[in-house]
Each structure stands twice: as C-alpha cells, then as structure tokens.
Amino acid sequence: MVQLIRKSIKECPECGSKNIYRNTEKGETTCRDCGLVLEDRMVDLSQEWRDFSDDGSESKRRTGAPTSETQFDQGLGTEVGTTSDFYKLGSDRERDKFFRLRKWNIRISTAIERNLKVALAELKRISSFLKLPKSVEEEAARIYRLTVQKGLVRGRSMESVVAGALYAACRRHEVPRTLDEMGEASGIEKKEIGRTYRFVTRELGISIRPSNPADYIPRFASALKLSPEIQSKAVKILESARDIELTSGRGPTGIAAAALYVASLIHGEKRTQREVADVAGVTEVTIRNRYKELIKKLKLTKDVEKSKRK
C-alpha cells in the first residue's frame, strides 16, 4: 500500500528549476540547482521491519505490530480477568488474591497508558519541530514504549527519554540531528539527552552504526545556502577522507563542517568558519583542525590556493 499524502512539488519556488531531487529515505526534497530544501516532511513509504538486536547475542528481539506506534494503546494491553471470572474461584484467599492482582494490574497499566499518552504527545511535538519523517517518529515511539515497559524510565525524566528515543531513531534512520538541535527542540540539556540515549540503546540492545558525516551535508549546506555543486564536492571530499581513515574517531559533524568549508572555498562561495561552525554546532577550532587535516592529507592545498587568487 503506497500513498503520498502530499502533492508533489514540480518546481522550485526559489529559482523555478524543475530539477527536483527527492530522497524518500531521509524525507528530504531538494532543488538540485539552488540547493533549497523544499519539503522535508514526506511520508516514508518503506516499512521498518528490522528488529532491534543486530548483534544476535541476546534474544531481545521483538517486532512491533504493523499498527501505528504513536497510538498510546495498540489494543495489546493486558487484563486480569473480569468480575465474571470471580465466581469461578473457590476460597476466600483466592478471591483476595484475584482482587489484588486485578487492582494492581489496572493501576499499573493505566499508569503506563497515561505516561505514554503524555510522552507521545511530546514526541510528536518535538518531531514536528524538527520536521522529522513519520518513520522516524514511529521508530522513536517504539523505542520509548520498550523503554517504559522495561521500567528503564525510573530516575529519568520522561522528556529526556523521549528526546533520547528520538535521537536514537534519527540515527538509525540515518537522518541525524545533532544533540544540540535535539536539545533545542526538547528543552533538555544535550548531555542529558546523550546520557539517556546511550543508556536506552545499551539496555535495549539497539545497535547503531556511527553516523556518516555525509548525512549532515544536505542540511548544513541548505542552512548555509550553498549550491548543490558544493554539496557534491563536499561529499566527494568526505569519501576520500574516509578512504584514508581520516574520519574514524572524530566527531562526524566536525568533519562534515570542515568538508563543507573546504568545498565552499574551492568553489569561490566562501563562508566564514564562524558561519559553518554555527550551523554544524561545533566551534571554529574544530573546523580548523579538521580543515588542516583535510587539505594536508588530501593534497587540496593547491586547489584552495588557486581559487583564492581569483
């Protein structure tokens, strides 16, 4: 079942170009000529069927029903009998126990439901603030539900767990947002989000590949109003950087920012380190360090020099 809820955009309102590029996985639509991000809330058409444990060591795998995870109850709640079952029981002791169990079960499940209701509302709020695709939102909801069911929320605020779940979902879907952005959207400190993110993913056995710097390029480039040529140049730079192991161990946003900075220099659409640093959420110093490594190891110095002289 495939359907688009939004009518598709035919041409760019900015430059009138018909050269529109859709990336359904990332929920991004960009204009190839001016780089404008046109519509980034498309429906993701692919179903997420993977389960959580890629390591296979622990049997934590469980797949959600193909219902919407953002509904607070999928009709899967438990119930301990009803009063009609009561009369089938013999002794007073059994009846006592029956009532106690029933009472507690209702109490617990309603508590969880209430919690989920509030949490999912918050999740939707943040998700729409960050313009995340529906698939990510659902993934985050699934993660949050698991977290609650395992009782891992104890000692943590609901909001931070929601933010952590969203962050994890973003990473899994390779639509990374920075911790800063997540912090701004949720009002939670980024180190708190990072903490819960690590905790939740570890406890749930969710394995997440280290994020690819290239995933950040379209968004950063668009924020800096850089042309698509620069984007692809930056991606090329990132690829060759990865080939010589320059990317491992470093913060992906820093590398992405530096690549973009270098690309902007070479193409004569210069942006200051400050500007690039701001949108990427790193400091100028980090950009400088990455930038130095890049031009040195990739022998781009002459390219940069050349375009400087122009």
Partner DNA sequence: AAGACGAAAGTGGTTGA
Partner DNA sequence: TCAACAACTTTCGTCTT
Q: Could you tell me the two tokens for 156? A: 């943590």
* Contact residue for DNA among 81, 223, 251, 303 (CB under 7 A): 251
Amino acid occupying residue 42: M
The residue from 160, 205, 281, 300 that contacts DNA (CB under 7 A) is: 281
**Total residues interacting with DNA, rule: CB under 7 A:** 23
272 contacts DNA (rule: CB under 7 A): yes
Adjacent-strand bridge partners of 28: 23
| Neighbour count for residue 286 (Cβ, 10 Å) | 20
**Binding-site member from 35, 201, 254, 259 for DNA (CB under 7 A):** 254
Site mask for DNA (CB under 7 A), range 126-165, x = bound: ----------------------------------------
Contact 138, 129 (CB under 8 A): no
Cβ pair 256, 292 in contact under 8 A? no
Residues in contact with 66: Cβ distance below 8 Å, sequence separation at least 6, in sequence order: 47
Cβ contacts of 1 within 8 Å, gap of 6 or more: none
Mask 181-210, x = binds DNA (CB under 7 A)?
----------x--xx--x------------
d(CA 304, CA 310): 10
Q: Which two tokens stand for residue 146?
A: 């698991």
Compute the least distance from the CB of residue 24 to DNA, in Å.
Answer: 30
**Long-range contacts of range 7-16, CB-CB < 8 Å, 24 or more positions apart?**
9/38, 9/39, 12/36, 12/38, 13/38
Residue from 127, 211, 222, 286 that binds DNA (CB under 7 A)?
286
- Confirm if 237 and 290 have CB atoms less than 8 A apart: no
Query: CB under 7 A: which stretch of 31-39, 131-139, 220-228, 244-252 binds DNA?
Result: 244-252
Asked if residue 273 binds DNA (CB under 7 A), the reply is yes
**Which C-beta is closer to DNA: that of 42 or that of 265?**
265
Residue from 17, 115, 232, 283 binding DNA (CB under 7 A): 283
| Residue in 24, 134, 288, 303 binding DNA, rule: CB under 7 A | 288
> Nearest distance from residue 263's CB to DNA, in Å?
13
Residue 134 CB, shortest distance to DNA, in Å, is 29
Cβ at position 308, least distance to DNA in Å: 8
The answer to whether 196 and 163 are in contact (CB under 8 A) is: yes
| Residue 249 in the binding site for DNA (CB under 7 A) | yes
Q: Is 270 in the site for DNA (CB under 7 A)?
A: yes
Q: Which two tokens mark 15?
A: 């430059």
Using rule CB under 7 A, residue 95 touches DNA: no
Among 22, 284, 303, 307, binds DNA (CB under 7 A): 284
Least distance in angstroms from the C-beta of 128 to DNA: 27
Beta-sheet strands, E only, within 45-166:
none
**Residues 137 and 175 sit within 8 Å (Cβ to Cβ):** no
Consecutive H or E run containing 117: helix 92-129
- The yes or no reply on residue 297 touching DNA (CB under 7 A) is no
Of 262, 275, 179, give the one whose Cα is nearest residue 223.
275
- Contact segment (CB under 7 A) with DNA among 49-57, 101-109, 230-238, 272-280 equals 272-280
102 contacts DNA (rule: CB under 7 A): no
For binding to DNA (CB under 7 A), which residues are involved?
191, 194-195, 198, 249-251, 254, 270, 272-274, 281-286, 288-292
